[in-house]
A and B are shown apart, each in its own frame.
Chain A
Amino acid sequence: MTERGNEPAYLEIAHYPVGVGTSWSQADLLAAAQKSVGRNTGWPIGAVLTREEYSPKPMRDGVRAVIQATTIIDRFDIWSLNRRGYFYFARLLEEDSDDRVKPNMTVYFDTRIWRIAEGLQHCAALYRALDLAPETRIHIEVAHRGLAGRILSATDQLRAITMAGRKSHENESRWAKVLPLGAIEPSLDALVAEISGELFMLFEFWQPQPEVWKSVLQAFLNSRV
């Protein structure tokens, strides 16, 4: 599993609609969760699987899924959506199931850009599926935890060679903002730059060239499964 000592390294995304008094039923939440699953990656954020142990379960205050997949790839995802529209997602860093590198040592900048972009898109899709108006304010938090001692690298090993082994001395990167639902996707590039910029800065002030992160983001946007 993806751990450094006893401390797991994981991506955490949480959001909620501000000032919305609606209480959704578990069935509504499940339907919205299904509709909001993205199609850009093979293992989407907020995945709604049908295998019984991984499928979302109705809970007293919403729905919740725990996914520990070992078929072909190792993944540990957990997500919850409560009746007030609060969403929480955590995933152990995929980097640690890559057997090309030592486990628990790296953070791939390109994977992080994909996940941040996907998390924002999923957020917008979820609240649209819950019929919220574009002007609804959404509080979004994106955090990466368990970073201390990790080296910034890239999934593309050729690119990784050029990255000079920058290490994080901080354990956590956390970003939060409130913005209108309708502004999330049009602002995707700016938001991804901001969130990933704060994360990458922890790795010895690393700042990717705009054309580099934009090309990674564009690859995500063009990707379809």
Chain B
Amino acid sequence: MALGFAFSCDSKAGGGQRSKLAPRFLNRDIGEVGGQCCRALSRWYHRSSRSRDWSWGKQFWIAMDREKLGYLTTLVLYPEETATAEYKSGIAFDQANDFGAKLIKHVIGQANAGGGYVVIGFKEEAAGKLIPDPGMDASVSRSYETTRLSQSVDSYLASGQRIQLQVHKIEANSAVYPVISVQGFDDSPLFCGRDFKGQDGKPILKEGSIYIRDVAAKTVIIAGPDQFRSLLKIAVSRRQAEVLDHFRALLSEMGLSLPSGTSGTPALTEGGDFQNWVNEQRQSALRELRKARKRE
């Protein structure tokens, strides 16, 4: 398929001061993707340069942003619902309508599931396959913007809670697809702070509810032990490191220390099994690499 790519990102979550793609990257990669995306990237590059911090490590961010672009592009080029990736139709964002409220619910659910991505502009065929939504156009794409979306989601969260998200724009097949990158909650799950009733009178958002994206890739209110267990696990893992840090500092003040690692050798047989397995994997990796070289 003929493809063009553009990439931009604005951030509410602290990454917005980083440098973005720089001319060298543009010059190198544009040739692969055509003049249209060259113009789009160029426009974006110059637009974003106003907020760029060039003081340190700009080249490093170029490399990292190129990676980011590659990863997000795969979400658009190879759409498939997973535990962390969700796809929605090409409808403009408006928090006052049913679609907007549902999107807010999904974003909260993703954050409570530890974070993920919501890609706008795809619809499901009868067979369940995701295909680009022909309704996707520039005005739809423009309606997704980090600050606006963050504020809309925040307005439906319990008092004092805030979402962390970024809206990236990925261009493919002459359309620009917003990809919402949702970060997991920090210390406590996100609660819905107010109701929203759909046009049919049924509630879409319910005050006091905790939404979570479950194993069946649906956003649901926490209602059963399985969902509660998932949420608890995420919360515990997020606090675990923090608690350990406090504990370590406390022990340090007392002149003690946590075991920060030993050079001890694991049980001989198990260690030997592992080393044999690693050797097999390494040989397999090198074979795959040779095959890849031949294909090139």
Contacts and interface: CB of A to CB of B under 8 A. Distances in A.
Interface magnitude class on chain B? 35 or more
Contacts of A68: 288, 292
Secondary structure dominating the interface of B: helix
Chain A CB count within 10 A is highest, among B65, B71, B284, for B71
Interface string A90-103: 10101000111000
Contact of A224 (B15, B258, B265, B267): B15
B61 to A, nearest CB: 9
Nearest to B32: A72
A47 B60 contact: no
Contact of B24 (A69, A100, A187, A191): A100
A91 B215 CA distance: 30
A63 to B, nearest CB: 12
Nearest to A124: B241
A68 B78 CA distance: 15
A134 B240 contact: yes
A49 B261 contact: no
B59 A86 contact: no
B245 A16 contact: no
A183 B74 CA distance: 34
Interface in A35-66: 35, 37, 39, 41-44, 47-52, 66
Chain B CB count within 10 A is highest, among A12, A72, A86, A94, for A72
Contacts of A12: 282
B248 interface: yes
Interface string A178-189: 111011011100
A137 B72 CA distance: 35
B271 interface: yes
Interface of A: 1, 3, 8, 10, 12, 14, 16, 18-19, 31, 34-35, 37, 39, 41-44, 47-52, 66, 68-69, 71-73, 75-76, 78, 80, 82, 86, 88, 90, 92, 94, 98-100, 110-111, 114, 125, 128, 134, 137, 139, 141, 154-159, 177-180, 182-183, 185-187, 190-191, 215-216, 219, 222-225
13 contacts: A35-B83, A35-B114, A52-B78, A82-B277, A90-B281, A98-B63, A111-B63, A154-B59, A155-B57, A177-B262, A178-B263, A178-B264, A190-B260
Given A37-B84, A78-B281, A128-B237, 10 more contacts: A31-B215, A44-B71, A68-B288, A90-B281, A156-B58, A179-B261, A183-B260, A222-B14, A223-B64, A224-B13
